[in-house]
Structure 1
């Protein structure tokens, strides 16, 4: 099955897609185990937001969650396992926000406004978790086949169609997602040292031009 809506046709309804993790899903857990896992991941998320993923250790997560270091190792195996689980956790929360959350990011606003809000939310999400995304995208081909990217592509393509954009929507979708590439965003922010406000303004301008050209 294609990850994109069909080319040219009837109006596209709100995309009905399942929230997909960036890594393989975990096996069903007992309620108490699931709560402990969520507690550890929330602690890890706070540390990433404060210090960056590169500075988050198993020991720091254990201290932040008020548990023993052994508990963290038993839950995630090693630091790489923790980082994969954290990326999965962060990705699911981000996806739920743009698929089901309040407007303008979620349903209820015009498609063009939702598309603009999607890009801004994605840029801010990447700002927090860019280290994890860069580590997960080291394979140059696999980066384009992540389930999470398929969800983003489906969402963006549907919004373009709802906004009345014509032409090759599949390629236009990839062009927009290219602006939101973790490597590019990291380059603009850390190498070119562009302020976040300028990068966000560039996204808004790109969306406005793309929608305006078709009207």
Structure 2
């Protein structure tokens, strides 16, 4: 169990990081600056998160907690009980919505990440997506197709759609790809 002061520091650091990212580029968001904005020592930030990549990963993970819970125990179609194809479409709709609400945070994580494919979020999402693909269409290489679908989210083009507010178009395109793939 996390101590109360440690939990407060963690939240203060994440909140300060997000506030700094809302007005600065990632390259201008140093660990020193985060510590000062959070009202903690620089050592606390490094001890808690290791480096800027760890800090960005924690910030992204804090944003995906609710989505992760919905995947395992939420109502259909996102949660269990819906056909795999419906769950897959609902998952990508939810990811687009999450990304549209957290564009700068997600972009900062992408920029800071040296090994995105091994991040806990990506690993969990890949397992979820590949499982749904395998259930919906056993003839597909579910592992590869899951990587391709998830990889499509990590592009400058997707970032442009998110920044310009074209999230409905992006979500519709992903649903169309999924529907076509699983026919």
TM-score by length of structure 2 reads 0.71
Give the 3 Å change call, closer, same or farther, for CA 119–84 of structure 1 in structure 2: closer
Do structure 1's residue 76 and structure 2's residue 45 form an aligned pair?
Answer: yes
Q: CA deviation at 1:156?
A: 0.6
Give the 3 Å change call, closer, same or farther, for CA 201–83 of structure 1 in structure 2: same
The whole-number CA distance in structure 1 between the counterparts of 2:23 and 2:94 is 18
Q: CA deviation at 1:185?
A: 1.9
Do structure 1's residue 40 and structure 2's residue 9 form an aligned pair?
Answer: no
Matched residue, 1:4: none
Task: Report 1:38-187 matches (<5 A).
Answer: 39-40=11-12, 43-44=15-16, 47=19, 51=22, 54=25, 58=34, 62=38, 69=39, 71=40, 73=42, 75-77=44-46, 80=52, 82-127=55-100, 128=102, 129-137=105-113, 139=114, 142-181=115-154, 183-187=156-160
TM-score by length of structure 1 reads 0.62
SS of structure 2 residue aligned to 1:114:
helix
Where does the alignment leave 5 or more consecutive residues of structure 2 unmatched?
Answer: none
Contact in 1 for aligned 2:78/2:90 (Cα 8 Å): yes
Instruction: Say how many residue pairs are matched.
Output: 171
CA RMSD of aligned residues (A): 3.4
SS of structure 2 residue aligned to 1:108:
coil
Greater relative CO, 1 or 2 (CA 8 Å, sep 6+): 1
Whichever structure has more helix as a proportion of its residues is 2
Q: CA deviation at 1:166?
A: 2.0
